[in-house]
Chains A and B, each alone.
Chain A
Amino acid sequence: MPKITMNINGRETSTEVENRTLLSTALRENLYLTGTHIGCDTSQCGACVVHVNGKAVKSCSVFAAELDGATVDTIEGQANADGSLNVIQQAFQDHHGLQCGFCTPGMVMSAAELLKVNPKPSEAEIRDYLEGNICRCTGYQGIVNAIMAASGQDVPSIAAE
């Protein structure tokens, strides 16, 4: 089996994978990074989004064996150095952008990519960008609000009942 070395969340990591092993499987099964979730088998749901060489990728759509030498960032590496939630994660908590939590890692990773390429997205741009990430719990309202907030834009406080 091919041995690959990737920089995962800032650490050089080696593992052996079969040629047919997907990155999502390698992360979960070989490296115990189970924060990356698998919600479908057609690359539709987005629960497995990670960053490969700085770009958001559905990790079920690439073979791990292709990624020798790549830099991979997953949800486990997103918090601040002191362990506190980063701006996007904190905004998801503040604006109730998650319920069961299963889509959440992919949502956070997609949101990070969006804000990198478009630091002040409009609501419509956020909704359009999240086309590849399915959430069955929230109706997306809290997620959209969270991403607006994380980009420094005003959102109506959902807690203002």
Chain B
Amino acid sequence: MPDGGIGAPTKRREDTRFLTGRGKYTDDFTPQNTSYCAFARSQVANGKINSVDMSAAAEMPGVLATFTGEDFVEVGGNPAGWAIVSRDGEPMKEPKRPVLAHGKVRHVGDAYAAVVAETLEQALDAVEAIEADIEELDAVIDMASAVAGSGSLVHDEIETNTCFDWGWIEDNRAATDEAIKAAPHVTTLELVNNRLVPNALEPRASIGEYDPGTGDYKLTTTSQNPHLSRLLIAAFVLGIPENKLTVLAPDVGGGFGSKIYHYSEEALVLAAAKKLGRPVKWTATRTESFLADAHGRDHVTKIELATEKDGTFIAFRTETMANVGAYLSNFATVTPTFLHGTLMAGNYTVPNVYVNVKAVFTNTAPVDAYRGAGRPEATYSLERVIDKCARELGMDPVEIRRKNFIKKDQYPYASAAGLEYDSGDYDALMDGLEKTADLAGFEARRAESAKNGKLRGLGINAYIEACGIAPSNLVGILGARVGLYDAATVRVNPTGNISVMVGAHSHGQGHETAFPQIVADMLGVDALSVDIVHGDTSKIPFGMGTYGSRSLAVCGSAVFRATEKIIVKATAIAAHMLEDKPENIEFNDGVFSIKGTNKNVGFGDVALKAYIPHDYPIEELEPGLEETAFYDPANFTYPSGAYASEVEVDPETGKVTICSMVALDDFGVVVNPMIVTGQVQGGLAQGIGQALLENSVYDKNGQLLSGSLMDYAMPRADDLPNLVVDHSHATRCTHNPIGSKGCGEAGAIGSPPTIVNAVVDALVRGGHDVDHIDMPVSPSRVWAAMNK
């Protein structure tokens, strides 16, 4: 293996531009003659649009064009990417999501008009001049009342606020009910998985361009997923031919799910650019991000765990209401269903699992996948109810988990929730956790905290997630409207360096450094001679982008397969050069040799020959050295982990301080351990943020109370402890060629129950009768729990 291959903690090459201010994010581009777009957004959560008079706005200085919902009545809507079927066989309800609201506005921040002007300030001034007559209606905010159907409807035409009522696995329902009825012990827990705002630090932005000379459109946009945006705009929203639309996602300042989706602003700037024949730019303010980005989580759940008296699990039964907001964002329907329900067996040999999810329309911003997407909700429910059960049975939380873990000799393991786990070793992770987190030393630390008047608690839990999204044939059966393969083209240039065009997009994950490590490892070349091209649909093969911890497991596997093809072709060229047969050639460390001889030729010479084929047997050998692979995974991957945290609670104030956070993860083969550590630490910060700080709150009228960074508590440096991360307890993924499982979401999935388990533990040890506190576990909630 050359330096910088698979397993090397190579420093990131992309850092140089980011550290010197030379990153190029969407808002950093201002094409010649750019005009600026601003949106008029609803100030009420539910309103009937009686009229939108743009005449005064159109007369404002610098205004070039105005748009309302009327202008987009004839074009399509932004579709849902996954069709869910209800328990009764009915398809889910799918109201149209128009480019601009028409007839009704459905959440605060719902855009109903737009202005394009010479300058941003002129566009903003003109928006103020719009005369809109919007009649406020009663808002549907609370999910329980939305489902009860006594009040307003978010979408009149579908005559219900329930999008679907889904059962997983419906055939297991009766058996699960029976098992719970007959069980010697049942633990029940009702909990809220709090609503979050992803808050990537770069606000969304889009620039539309249109060339009247060629009819070509270009969209530069903050996307995790440029080909998906192009497909949706072309096939569903504007009908622009795909071959006439280039989507560029340049440097993107974080996504966390919120930039997977196509948003209306992208369609608007393209339509406006066509109308004006000049570039049209829109950049969200942070306020717009809060109001109009897809939010995350927002589940209300009741979970039951049935056990034998000795703690052996018999059944998990879950009832969840999942908020989808006012419109279906692209993956809003799969997040609370197949990314949640299928994980409800956790790491355990439980025979019965049943999950019921009702998805609910409300007059709030759309809710979709946010880091973890369904799997944090599953893990939180499971690992909280298991902790409660352990306490009820008088068992140690480590012991009850170990008793029910799937054992390492049981793989492949068919879980009761319908997945086949390929590999793992949960006991090894727990062994490692006991050592790394020094669980045995907790009691002494607790006594020390008690001396200082603090209540110390220990939280531990396991998690499993399904990543490497996803096998197209399986997800097709389950309702996906897209395939979930990825693609890579490896182009060996004549001088021997290599360009790799990939479908995945890097917006913090370090693909530009990690993907070349794979190619370098396989070809025996210097990783710095390999460059990654991503985020430009005119250059890259059709890929499905970055989310669901899929980039390495799926797109990395495509890179691997394409590189394998390169080796096959290069071997044939080398055989020609060495005047022997390909089967007699071996390839090691960048050198092709005739087996058993010292006759050889280097990779660089083969590359040159590929493009200067003066003496080729042209019937047998094609010039060039470029290969593409589309990789469709055979299964999901199953990262897993064991986490521990110790907290101190100040009994005077209820304030929780995290003393330690230890994360042990099994990601399979790790390509760049430095980057993987960073991914876990970032995930942990978001999980801790959810557990302690973050909450997106609407009042009963649908006003977003937490609509700025002054009201929504983002984790800051002094809110977090040192984050101890260890991914050395690895079991290889058995079905992809790299053996990697994916690491991007783990920290956010595993850590919320760790923190809440620790806080409850602290209070119980402190003599308080508390079995649950909803997230965020704020001082006021902790104080209330202690003083009820």
Contact = CB atoms under 8 A, between A and B. Distances in A.
B673 A42 contact: no
B21 interface: yes
B523 to A, nearest CB: 24
Given A100-B201, A136-B714, A92 B19 contact: yes
Contact of A101 (B14, B30, B673, B723): B14
Contacts of B674: 96, 158-159
Interface string B235-257: 00000000000000001111010
Contacts of A20: 121
Interface stretch (A51-59, A63-71, A137-145): A137-145
Contacts of B611: none
Contacts of B21: 33-36, 74-76, 78, 105
A161 B673 contact: yes
A100 to B, nearest CB: 3
B253 A102 contact: yes
A42 to B, nearest CB: 5
Given A127-B718, A136-B714, A139-B681, A39 B201 contact: yes
Interface in A124-161: 124, 126-128, 130-131, 133-144, 158-159, 161
Interface residues on B, range: 35 or more
Given A34-B21, A98-B15, A101-B14, A139 B685 contact: yes
A interface bracket (residues with beta carbon within 8 Å of B): 35 or more
- Tell me if A's interface is mostly helix, strand, loop or mixed: loop
B199 interface: yes
Nearest to A157: B9
A134 to B, nearest CB: 5
B201 A136 contact: yes
Contacts of A104: 18-19, 23
A101 B253 contact: yes
Contacts of A41: 285-287, 708
A85 interface: yes
B11 A93 contact: yes
A8 to B, nearest CB: 12
Contacts of B708: 40-42, 44
A138 B678 contact: yes
Nearest to A25: B120
Max chain A C-beta neighbours (<10 A), residue from B14, B27, B709: B709
Contacts of A105: 21
Contact of B15 (A42, A93, A124, A143): A93
Contacts of B718: 124, 127-128, 130-131
B675 interface: yes
A99 B720 CA distance: 18
B677 interface: yes
Nearest to B510: A99
Contacts of B677: 96, 158, 161
B509 interface: yes
Contact of A100 (B9, B507, B728): B507
A108 interface: yes
B9 A159 contact: yes
Nearest to A90: B19
Contacts of B30: 29
Nearest to B718: A127
A11 B788 CA distance: 64
Contact of A99 (B9, B682, B709, B727): B682
B722 interface: yes
B717 A144 contact: yes
B409 to A, nearest CB: 27
Nearest to A142: B678
Contacts of B159: none
A76 B23 CA distance: 11
Contacts of B508: 99-101, 137
B746 to A, nearest CB: 12
The residue in A101, A128, A142 that gathers the most chain B C-beta atoms within 10 A of its C-beta is A101
Contact of A75 (B20, B510, B682): B20
Contact of B716 (A101, A134, A161): A134
B294 to A, nearest CB: 15
B293 to A, nearest CB: 13
Interface string B491-534: 00000000000000001111000000000000000000000000
9 contacts: A40-B708, A47-B201, A75-B19, A79-B20, A98-B15, A100-B252, A100-B254, A136-B714, A161-B9
Counting from the closest, the 6 A-B pairs by CB-CB distance are A35-B21, A101-B18, A102-B253, A139-B685, A100-B508, A99-B508
Interface of A: 18, 20, 28-29, 33-42, 44-45, 47, 74-76, 78-79, 85, 89, 92-94, 96, 98-105, 108, 123-124, 126-128, 130-131, 133-144, 158-159, 161
Interface of B: 9, 11-12, 14-25, 27-28, 30, 121, 199-203, 251-254, 256, 285-287, 507-510, 670, 673-675, 677-679, 681-686, 708-710, 714-718, 720, 722-723, 727-728, 747
Given A34-B27, A42-B710, A96-B677, 20 more contacts: A34-B21, A41-B285, A41-B708, A45-B709, A93-B12, A93-B16, A100-B18, A101-B14, A102-B25, A102-B253, A104-B18, A127-B716, A130-B716, A134-B714, A136-B254, A136-B714, A137-B201, A140-B717, A144-B717, A161-B728
